[in-house]
Amino acid sequence: MSRKTLIPIGPYHPLQEEPELFKLYCDGEIVMDIKWETGYNHRGIEKLSESKSYDQVFFLVERICGICSTSHPFAFANAVEEIVGVEITDRTKYIRSIIGELERIHSHLLWVGLAGHFLGYNTLFMWAWKYREPVLDLFEMITGNRNSYAMFKVGGVRRDIENSKIPAIRKVMAVMRKKLDLLTGAVMDDPVIHARTKGVGILTRQDILDYGAVGPTARASGVDIDVRRDDPYAAYPLVNWKVITAQAGDVFAKVEVRLLEMYESASIIEQCIDALEKMKEGDIALKINEIPQGIGTGRAEAPRGEVFHFVVSDGSNSPARHKIRAPSYTNIATFKKSCIGQTIADATISLAAVDPCYCCTERMAAAYDNSSGKKILNASELIELSMKRTSELRKSGAGHE
């Protein structure tokens, strides 16, 4: 039994929707060694960024990740505002935090669903994604888009959250808490889920510190780090919330941390909209005419962990250097610790547990009915349909069942 079998996970595999290749060297069902290859998705964003103006870079970095699409603009805005040396208005801070936390809820729900799918629990997958819909509706109502919200710019945000929209947000949050209770109950009390996730893929506190892992992956191992608290930005110092940690470091602890974080996010959003209601509408952007020479660093807590942006400005209208570090970059390295010695079944859920970032939000193509030749829907009709729906949502408000 000394020969090791290579079990490939990727580049195209149902576990990782994104092209990544994990090579599991197995002895029977036990994973003896793991190697991975990434880079299938390299798009040269840092270089692209140097050829775009500061306003355009926001749209570019938003497309690094389809799921946490606000965390990158968030960090970039923090970096550029550090160069300019301005303090954004309070209303902007609250709006930015609302967007950031809504995104955390939808991202964590998405992950819970996917984790269920990886465990073969497709009902959990469908339920979690259904509960995620109202959040996306809310995004569509506030920003006009379900993903890639295009909300941020230097010194402010592009759209206000008017007082007329606040009741809808409040309603969705109330509904959300009930759904979260249901989901948390279903996951935390299921003995089979316990059997599948407890004691699986354990990362100790020391492993986290050695590999520099961030976000829920670190917090599930008892490492109490969160950029929102440690390096305060936006409205996070202005509201009450706490950093969720767990001690066990296994997959179950990661599930637990993410589920409980969603409650904190809901609470942050509720406090932010309470504050927004008391303010004057429209004070959402500072006028910034030029970016001076300088160096800026921006950090933001994405749903997967710390996002870091480093920007060098030479005084022109585009960054001279733009360095980005996404959380998955450090988190993926922990696989060496969490997967070796596990069975294949445990290794796959351990791979998924750090929530490696999938950057693949795809669009539908035009479809024709073969028998009648009738056009079912083409791109422009889809866009028209989506615009119609957005305008309806803006009028009626989100939050339907």
Closest separation in Å from C-beta 37 to another protein: 17
By the rule CB under 8 A, 4 interacts with another protein: no
Measured from the CB atom, the residue of 43 and 130 that comes closer to another protein is: 130
Interface of this chain with another protein, residues 94 to 113, rule: CB under 8 A: none
By the rule CB under 8 A, 360 interacts with another protein: no
By the rule CB under 8 A, 185 interacts with another protein: no
Write out the chain in H/E/C secondary structure.
Answer: CCCCEEEEECCCCCCCCCCCEEEEEEECCEEEEEEEECCCCCCCHHHHHHCCCHHHHHHHHHCCCCCCCCHHHHHHHHHHHHHHCCCCCHHHHHHHHHHHHHHHHHHHHHHHHHHHHHCCCHHHHHHHHHHHHHHHHHHHHHHCCCCCCCCEECCEECCCCCHHHHHHHHHHHHHHHHHHHHHHHHHHCCHHHHHHHCCCCCCCHHHHHHHCCCHHHHHCCCCCCCHHHHCCCCCHHHCCCCCCCCCCCCHHHHHHHHHHHHHHHHHHHHHHHHHHHCCCCCCCECCCCCCCCEEEEEEEEECCEEEEEEEEECCCCCCCEEEEECHHHHHHHHHHHHHCCCEHHHHHHHHHHCCCCCCCCCCCCCEECCCCCCEEECHHHHHHHHHHHHHHHHHHCCCCC
Closest separation in Å from C-beta 120 to another protein: 3
Interface of this chain with another protein, residues 27 to 66, rule: CB under 8 A: 28-29
Q: Which stretch binds another protein (CB under 8 A): 84-92, 124-132, 223-231, 275-283?
A: 124-132
Interface of this chain with another protein, residues 285 to 344, rule: CB under 8 A: 343-344
**Among 22, 121, 152, 236, contact with another protein (rule: CB under 8 A):** 121
By the rule CB under 8 A, 192 interacts with another protein: yes
Measured from the CB atom, the residue of 367 and 383 that comes closer to another protein is: 367
**Among 13, 63, 323, 325, contact with another protein (rule: CB under 8 A):** 13
Q: Are 37 and 13 in contact (CB under 8 A)?
A: no
The count of residues interacting with another protein (CB under 8 A) is 34
Measured from the CB atom, the residue of 24 and 235 that comes closer to another protein is: 24
**Among 271, 338, 348, 350, contact with another protein (rule: CB under 8 A):** 348
By the rule CB under 8 A, 356 interacts with another protein: no
Measured from the CB atom, the residue of 9 and 220 that comes closer to another protein is: 9
Closest separation in Å from C-beta 364 to another protein: 18
CA 250, distance to chain mean position in Å, is: 21
Q: Which residues contact 184 (CB under 8 A, 6 or more apart)?
A: 259, 260
By the rule CB under 8 A, 367 interacts with another protein: no
Closest separation in Å from C-beta 166 to another protein: 28
Q: Are 73 and 61 in contact (CB under 8 A)?
A: yes
By the rule CB under 8 A, 126 interacts with another protein: yes
Interface of this chain with another protein, residues 202 to 241, rule: CB under 8 A: none
Measured from the CB atom, the residue of 195 and 387 that comes closer to another protein is: 195
Closest separation in Å from C-beta 350 to another protein: 11
CA-to-CA distance for 154 and 76, rounded, in angstroms? 9
Closest separation in Å from C-beta 349 to another protein: 8
**Among 26, 142, 154, 257, contact with another protein (rule: CB under 8 A):** 26
By the rule CB under 8 A, 281 interacts with another protein: no
* Interacting residues toward another protein by CB under 8 A: 5-8, 13-15, 26, 28-29, 116-127, 130, 190, 192-193, 195-196, 343-346, 348, 352
